[in-house]
């Protein structure tokens, strides 16, 4: 069976189960239940129904018991409305989506607080060195380059011999050595 057909079947089962819980299942233990997702196996023999319950753990436990007791009624209705030869077996699983969402929200709040603390520290911070640590051509390097060019023009490579290893001095000394 194709994945598209299985997804359509799962969507149809979700609608049928939601309508059944709203209209036909009259169990006092059943709280405010929302069907969040349905997954069907590839052979359509088993359907897993994920649900959430609004309330505390007591409401969740009583709703789980009510769904378990109404499973046969819901399965017969699903089989009747789908018109399939084999009605899939149903399994109800409490969805962990609300707890996961709350945990993610908590982590995001912590990250937001941490970012605010870093921004507050950065506002009062100063540079460890200069504000701009890079050399610029107008900083005085031009004077050094002019001295090297003048020395090379005269043929004096003593700066290189004396330890001036700037790129221009080395290049000029190599050019002089080649002749």
- At 151, give phi and psi (nearest 5°): -65, -40
Instruction: Pick the closest to residue 37 from 14, 15, 16, 20 (CA basis).
Output: 14
- Could you tell me which residues come within 8 angstroms of residue 172 by beta carbon, excluding any fewer than 6 positions away? 148, 149, 151, 152, 157, 160
Q: What confidence tens digit (pLDDT) does each residue in 81-132 have?
A: 988 888 899 999 998 887 888 899 999 999 999 999 999 888 888 877 777 7
Question: What pLDDT does residue 96 have?
Answer: 83
Residue-range domains of the chain with CATH: 3-96 (3.30.300.20), 138-178 (no CATH)
User: Quick check: helix, strand or coil at residue 51?
Assistant: strand
Q: What is the pLDDT of residues 12-67, one digit of tens each?
A: 999 999 998 888 888 778 878 889 999 999 888 999 999 998 888 888 898 889 89
The radius of gyration of the chain from alpha carbons, rounded to an integer in Å, stands at: 38
Burial per residue of 21-45, b for 16 or more beta-carbon CB atoms within 10 angstroms, e otherwise = beeebeeeebbebebeebbbeeebe
């Amino acid at each position: 069976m194709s994945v598209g057909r299985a997804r359509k079947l799962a969507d149809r089962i979700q609608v049928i189960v939601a309508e059944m819980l709203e209209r036909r299942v009259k169990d006092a233990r059943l709280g405010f239940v929302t069907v969040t997702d349905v997954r069907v196996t590839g052979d359509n023999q088993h359907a897993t129904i994920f649900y959430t319950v609004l309330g505390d753990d007591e409401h969740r436990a009583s709703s789980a018991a009510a769904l378990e007791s109404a499973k046969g009624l819901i399965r017969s209705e699903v089989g009747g409305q789908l018109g399939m030869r084999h009605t899939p077996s149903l399994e109800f699983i409490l969805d962990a989506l609300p707890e996961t969402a709350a945990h993610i929200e908590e982590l995001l709040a912590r990250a937001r607080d941490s970012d605010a603390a870093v921004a507050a520290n950065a506002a009062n911070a100063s540079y460890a060195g200069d504000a701009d640590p890079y050399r610029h051509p107008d900083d005085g390097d031009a004077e050094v380059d002019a001295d090297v060019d003048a020395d090379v023009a005269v043929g004096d490579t003593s700066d290189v011999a004396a330890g001036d290893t700037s790129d221009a001095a080395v290049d000029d000394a190599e050019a002089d050595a080649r002749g």
